[in-house]
Amino acid sequence: MSAHHRKKKEQQTIGQGQGRRSRRSRLPLRRSVVSEDLLLEIGTEELPAAYLPGLIHQLRGESETLFQANHLSFQRSDVFGTPRRLVLIVRKLSVFQHRPAEEIRGPSKQASYDASGKPTKALLGFLRSRGGQLDQTKIVPSEKGEHVFLIKSPSVVPTAQILPQLLPQLIQRLRTPKAMRWEDTGFRFARPIRWLLTLYGSRPIRFFLAGVNSQARTRIGRPQEPQETSVTSIPAYFQTLKRVGIILDQDKRRQRIQQLVQREAKRVGGVIAREMRSHGLLEEVTYLTEVPTLLAGEFGPEYLELPREVLLASMAKYQRVFAVESRGKLLPRFVAILEGKSARPNAVRKVIERILNARLADSLLFWKQDLTHSLTQMNEGLAGLTFIPLSPVYEEQGSMQAKILRLQGLSKVLVHAWNLRDPESEWLRQACEFSKADLVSTTVKEFPTLQGVMGKYYACQGGKSQEIAEAIGEHYLPSGDKLPKTLIGSALSVLDKYDTLVSYFGANIVPTGDEDPYGLRRAAQGIVEVAWAIHRPLPFQRFREVFTSEGWFPSMNLGNASDRVKLYLLERLYTFSWPKPRPTNDCVDAVLASSPDDLCDDLVDVMDRIAMLARLKDDPALVKATKVVERTHNILKATEFNHLQVDSSQLQDPIEIGLWETYCKQKESIREFIGKRDYAEATQRFGDVFFGPIHEFFAKVMVNVPDERLRRNRLALMQAIKTLYTERIADLSKLVLTE
Amino acid sequence: MDWGLAMQFQRLIRALDAFWEKQGCVIVQPYDIEMGAGTFHPATFFGALGPSPLRAAYVQPSRRPADGRYGQNPLRMQRYYQYQVLLKPSAESVRSLYLESLRVCGLRLDAHDLRFVQDDWESPTLGAWGLGWEVWLDTLEVTQFTYFQQVGGLDLNPITCEITYGLERIALFIQETADVYALAYGPEITYGDIHLANEREGSTYNFEHASVELHRQWFSQHEAEANRLLKANLLMPAYEHLLRCSHTFNMLDARGAISQSDRPRFILRIRTLAKRCAELYLERQKGAGAREGAFPEKKIA
């Protein structure tokens, strides 16, 4: 290890030496050169396609942050990535670093010098880490006592001298979901770094990282025949890549691939299968090649018997090839994007066809095998499938079979709340019963992403109605922007996720920070999205009653779990992608702070109220209502009384008598609007009725009078007016108005 | 090189042996206990642990009971051959050595599409994981290329690079045939002559006849035996019973006798053994009698 560190240091010293040399060689330059372009190429063994978008994004962000923090100005930066290279171009990076004067606070005076006045380790360490000397320090008194400050005078340093330290730092900052070690410095990266190319203008920048010395060289050629070549300038670098057909820019590469595959599909009288036209496969293929090259072929038409989704999954999973369709029906054809040109493309095509046929034969075997089992037989297999991971404690209760029983029990809540009648209620029950049957099929074991989709096919084959099959098919949604389309599918989607959340919370498996290995955050978001889209009630209390009354998971406290899930779901409302106008956080705060629990019971009702606030934000009606709530809220804040009841016989002032009469007269009509969930009208009415009288009241009537009974009664009147709105709609005192 | 001869399956093995021998590898022999992959061979499991350098190569017959297709599918078999290469520490030249080895086998690489596609390799039973690729030749996975990061749950230093060739698949390319059983194995004899009957019988046994009850018993017995031997400080005998546990687990899995809820617990039982074996091995490496007993590591000057 230490030998290795020495090596690293030496290398860095060499780098710095060159930096100094370059400063000398820079002197004769014309003064007009104030900036140069910078090129950094990190050459690797193939990076995972899924990591590349993140790496590109980070490299852009981190380089800009780093250069700005180091007082280096530049015009803009571009970042590109292929499987074998990550490339950063910084345009017009200033040739000098202009570092302003700096005063950096160090350790306290006491900690900095020992009894004999000598500098302590703490002080020396501080100076070392900040690149300062003892004679650059002074002692400055502050509120927290005397401290040593490092005073750096402004400086001008050639950028070429700083880059050998900055660029390794930059690469070290890049993070991927998984990283590895491969050489003896112990450096970690997504895959091994095999070369580093850096040019600043036309001058190479030397540094050492992960066992590699940067050089003015790059590698080109297909993976099987890599070639090294020297690079003399940044324009020459781009020319070299272009000459061998490397499309460095990922956006251009994606476009090129789209163009190639679409053109080929058209040539054979079709189009690329709609599922493969964007995202997923297209994105992956974009990052699997740097010289995208087309190859098309056919497969056995007998495999068109497979469900469409299975065919597409086979083609995408094993070989990353595109399917072709015509008028919505798949053709026995594929389009592949390969890396560079093969010397014998026909032979390659034959092999790919053969492998595809063998894969599809296996898929067909699975599919036919699965069809020999009835839905009931499949459901029997669910006893052996774990629903709650690694928890022998829950044994039978933790199985998928127990889950489908719970789903059927929970379905009664939605049957009632959504007012489902036969046959809808029976469809929902059966959709619950057979929702997980496909999990024991060989096809889903082979293609886990087809869960639900396969269930739909098996339900159809098993003679279930279209509505049941569709519901099973879409109950894992939402995914991306796809939502369940049917009522029963939406119900099943919500029930499935709700059961998962309560069971997992009950087993104390909860998402923490960024960690969410079981997709619970996604499940909660899913519930909110589906509930909002279908816009039917989601009664928390009724679910809680069912969870606590059926004897499920005897070892868990499901009441407590239900309460935590409710809170968790309500928290999602802050991040929910609301339609415009998007509610600000204070709108969500106001509604969540509004009512006692039993009135915040329906998720969709809560969402309606939030959306209403967002719509009316800064509308005069809401502003008036807010003023009324604010004034009554403020006066009540300091009150010592708990149970406030207006005693009409105690009212004295004609103004307060008038206000009380207004309250009594208007109360019912406002409650009526609330009852009809016409919150906008209720708000309008509340503001109109009370805004004027409340102002007059506060202007002319003293609330906090010495007479306790009188004071108490006036506060009670304030409370009655306030809660008329806040209990049922939103606590507007939380609202932040823009005026 | 005489390409006509190199095309035969047995010549392919010899070509790889010769190539990797030239790179300083010790050519060890297949291990004589059923295993799912060459990674289970002590040369890899123990070889990857500890600081001593190692270069080794060998053929390992590999058993995947659940992958049997009664000899009907050219890409899936319940018993096949892996060719395994270990380079520790992983050299910078490992990629070019691998490409060179394919050429030596008779592949014209410029005629093919070759790609390295992400594969985060993991063996939960061995407590081992690494990062690397599936190597695709015309979209068929012909090799797993992995930089090991952990074995037996222990961090590795230095890092071992493992190259696992799928011999049959590579032979299909070299001999330009679609049918694995039609591959020329040696003079006047095909791969099918040697293996097809066994592939059919093996599939039938694995899927239809293997006694679940007996295999369950065997699993527990091998596990108990491994534990007993570990207590007696007998490393290789204990490890051999771990291998038997692992194969027995694969058999139960092929019979569909392992439910999803059983699975993690079975795996954990094997991994616990693997971890103890790894720790005992490292302890011995540190001790005075380091070179006695366990796998004979090859020192490279």
Token pair belonging to A671: 């409650």
**pLDDT range class, residue A61, cuts 50, 70, 90:** very high
Contact B117 A225 (CB under 8 A): no
A361: nearest Cα among B67, B75, B196, B178: B75
- Bond preceding residue A235 cis, omega within 30 of 0: no
Taking residues A694-703, report their average pLDDT.
Answer: 91
Residue B122 included in any domain: yes
A148 in Cβ contact with A109 (< 8 Å): yes
Token pair belonging to A307: 């469900």
Are B166 and B228 in the same domain?
Answer: no
pTM: 0.80
Contact B264 A351 (CB under 8 A): no
Domain boundaries, chain A: 2-97+157-243, 101-153, 250-371, 379-577, 608-734
Q: Which of A20-29, A323-332, A367-376, A499-508 has the lowest mean pLDDT?
A: A20-29
pLDDT of residue A385: 78
Q: Which of A135-144, A499-508, B174-183 has the lowest mean pLDDT?
A: A135-144
Is A296 part of the contact surface with chain B (CB cutoff 8 Å)?
Answer: no
pLDDT in tens, A157-191: 899 999 999 999 999 999 999 999 999 898 999 99
The full DSSP string for A34-85 is: -EEEEEEEEEESPPPGGGHHHHHHHHHHHHHHHHHHTT---SEEEEEEETTE
Calpha distance A574→A576 (Å, rounded): 6
Are B227 and B169 in the same domain?
Answer: no
pLDDT of residue A207: 95
Mean pLDDT of chain A: 89
Is A631 part of the contact surface with chain B (CB cutoff 8 Å)?
Answer: no
Token pair belonging to B14: 């010899």
Which homologous superfamily does the CATH classification assign to the domain defined by A608-734?
A: Isoleucyl-tRNA Synthetase; Domain 1 (1.10.730.10)
pLDDT for residue A462 is more than 70: yes
The alpha-helical segments, DSSP class H, found in A244-331 are 250-267, 280-286, 308-314
Token pair belonging to A645: 């009841």
Are B79 and B199 in the same domain?
Answer: yes
Is A318 part of the contact surface with chain B (CB cutoff 8 Å)?
Answer: yes
Token pair belonging to A649: 């016989």
Out of B171, B188, B206, pick the residue that ends a domain: B206
- Chain A with chain B: Cβ pairs closer than 8 A: 128
Domain extent for B271: 211-286
Residue B129 included in any domain: yes
Are B44 and B21 in the same domain?
Answer: yes
Q: Reduced to 3 states, what is the DSSP secondary structure of residue B30?
A: coil
Return the residue of A nearest to B257 by Cα: A384
Tell me, what's the ipTM? 0.92
Indicate the DSSP class of residue A582: P
Cβ-based neighbour number of residue B129 at 10 Å: 18
Please name the member of B75, B111, B113 whose beta carbon is closest to the beta carbon of A339.
B113
Residue B65 included in any domain: yes
Residue B300 included in any domain: no
Are B56 and B192 in the same domain?
Answer: yes
pLDDT for residue A145 is more than 70: yes
Is B131 part of the contact surface with chain A (CB cutoff 8 Å)?
Answer: yes
Which has the higher per-residue pLDDT, B225 or A134? B225
Are B147 and B226 in the same domain?
Answer: no
Token pair belonging to A27: 């002197």
- Strands (DSSP E) along B96-171, which ranges? 114-123, 128-137, 140-151, 154-155, 161-166
Query: Could you tell me which residues are beta bridge partners of residue B26?
Result: B56
Read off the CATH number of the domain in which B51 is found. Answer: 3.30.930.10
Closest-CA distance of chain A to residue B156, Å: 9
Measured between beta carbons, which residues in chain A are less than 8 angstroms from residue B180?
Answer: none
Calpha distance B252→B271 (Å, rounded): 17
Are B160 and B267 in the same domain?
Answer: no
Number of folded domains that form chain B: 2
pLDDT for residue A525 is more than 60: yes
Out of B206, B238, B269, pick the residue that ends a domain: B206
Contact A351 B140 (CB under 8 A): yes
Taking residues A347-351, report their average pLDDT.
Answer: 94
pLDDT for residue A22 is more than 50: no
**pLDDT range class, residue A32, cuts 50, 70, 90:** low
Rg (CA), chain B: 19
Are B131 and B7 in the same domain?
Answer: yes
Taking residues A531-549, report their average pLDDT.
Answer: 95
Calpha distance A183→A187 (Å, rounded): 7
Pairing of strands B54-63, B26-27: parallel
Contact A399 B261 (CB under 8 A): yes
pLDDT of residue A142: 75
Closest-CA distance of chain B to residue A338, Å: 6
Residue B293 included in any domain: no
Is A188 part of the contact surface with chain B (CB cutoff 8 Å)?
Answer: no
CATH of A379-577, one of 1.10.3210, 1.10.3470, 2.60.40, 3.40.50: 1.10.3210
- Strands (DSSP E) along A316-473, which ranges? 322-326, 329-339
Read off the CATH number of the domain in which B265 is found. Answer: 1.20.58.180
pLDDT for residue A439 is more than 60: yes
**Residue-by-residue pLDDT tens, chain B, 301 positions:** 344 555 899 999 999 999 999 999 999 999 999 999 999 999 999 999 988 899 999 999 999 999 999 999 888 999 999 999 999 999 889 999 999 999 999 999 999 999 999 999 998 889 899 999 999 999 999 999 999 999 988 899 999 999 999 999 999 999 988 899 999 999 889 999 999 999 999 999 999 999 999 999 999 999 999 999 999 999 999 999 999 999 999 999 998 888 766 787 889 899 999 999 999 999 888 764 555 444 544 443 3
Are B43 and B165 in the same domain?
Answer: yes
Are B156 and B242 in the same domain?
Answer: no
Token pair belonging to B157: 């230093």
Contact A384 B130 (CB under 8 A): no
A120: left (phi over 0), alpha (psi -120 to 50) or beta: beta
Are B159 and B137 in the same domain?
Answer: yes
> Which residues of chain A from 679 to 718 reach within 8 Å of chain B, CB to CB?
none
Residue B142 CB-half CA count within 13 A: 25
Taking residues A109-119, report their average pLDDT.
Answer: 85
Residue B294 included in any domain: no
pLDDT of residue A31: 54
Contact B113 A186 (CB under 8 A): no
Residue B299 included in any domain: no
Token pair belonging to A597: 């629990």
pLDDT in tens, B31-50: 999 999 999 999 999 999 98
Please name the member of A50, A361, A385 whose beta carbon is closest to the beta carbon of B259.
A385
Calpha distance A551→B206 (Å, rounded): 41
Report the percentage of chain A scoring pLDDT > 70.
94
- Single-letter code of the amino acid located at B146: T
B77 in Cβ contact with B180 (< 8 Å): yes
Contact B75 A359 (CB under 8 A): yes
- Strands (DSSP E) along B238-285, which ranges? none
- Bond preceding residue B158 cis, omega within 30 of 0: yes
Contact B133 A46 (CB under 8 A): yes
A216 in Cβ contact with A55 (< 8 Å): no
User: Which residue shows structure tokens 């004609």?
Assistant: A654
Return the residue of B nearest to A221 by Cα: B110
Measured between beta carbons, which residues in chain B are less than 8 angstroms from residue A388?
Answer: none
Residue B301 included in any domain: no
Angle at B103 between CA B98 and CA B107, to 5 degrees: 120
Measured between beta carbons, which residues in chain B are less than 8 angstroms from residue A48?
Answer: 118
Are B162 and B278 in the same domain?
Answer: no
pLDDT of residue B5: 55
**pLDDT range class, residue A461, cuts 50, 70, 90:** very high
Out of B176, B206, B236, pick the residue that ends a domain: B206
User: Which residue shows structure tokens 């600000």?
Assistant: A584
Which run of H or of E encompasses B59?
strand B54-63
B277 in Cβ contact with B239 (< 8 Å): yes
pLDDT in tens, B184-231: 999 889 999 999 999 999 999 999 999 999 999 999 999 999 999 999
